[in-house]
Amino acid sequence: MAYRPALFVLFAAALSAQRPEAVPAPDVIYYNAHVVTVDDQFSYAQAVAISGDAFSAVGANGAVRQLAGPKTRQIDLRGMTVIPGLTDNHLHDAGGGPGVDLSRTRSSDDVLEAVGDRVKRAEPGEVVISNSDWHEAQLKEQRLPLRRDLDTWRR
Q: Per-residue pLDDT tens for 32-69?
A: 999 998 888 889 999 999 999 889 999 999 999 999 99
Q: Is residue 88 part of a domain?
A: no
pTM above 0.85, yes or no: no
Gyration radius of the chain over CA positions: 29
Q: Is residue 152 part of a domain?
A: yes
Q: How many CA atoms lie within 13 A of 7 on its CB side?
A: 4
CATH code: domain of residue 44: 2.30.40.10
Q: Is residue 37 part of a domain?
A: yes
pLDDT, residue 40, reads 84
Domain that holds residue 42: 23-82
- The residue from 51, 82, 113 where one domain ends is 82
Mean pLDDT computed over every residue of the chain: 81
Q: What is the mean pLDDT of residues 97-102?
A: 81
Burial of 23 (0-12, 13-18, 19+ CB in 10 A): exposed
**Bigger pLDDT: 125 vs 95:** 125
Q: Is residue 112 part of a domain?
A: yes
Q: Is residue 126 part of a domain?
A: yes
Q: How many residues does the chain have?
A: 155
pLDDT, residue 52, reads 93
pLDDT, residue 86, reads 61
Same domain, 97 and 78: no
Q: How confident is the model at residue 125 (pLDDT cuts 50, 70, 90)?
A: confident
Number of independent structural domains in the chain: 2
Same domain, 76 and 98: no
- The residue from 32, 56, 82 where one domain ends is 82
Q: Is residue 6 part of a domain?
A: no
Q: How confident is the model at residue 154 (pLDDT cuts 50, 70, 90)?
A: low
Q: Is residue 17 part of a domain?
A: no
Q: Is residue 99 part of a domain?
A: yes
Is residue 129 scored above 60 in pLDDT? yes
Q: How confident is the model at residue 94 (pLDDT cuts 50, 70, 90)?
A: low
DSSP character string of 61-113: HHHHHTT--TT-EEEE-TT-EE-TT---SS---SS--SSB--TT--SHHHHHH
pLDDT, residue 47, reads 97
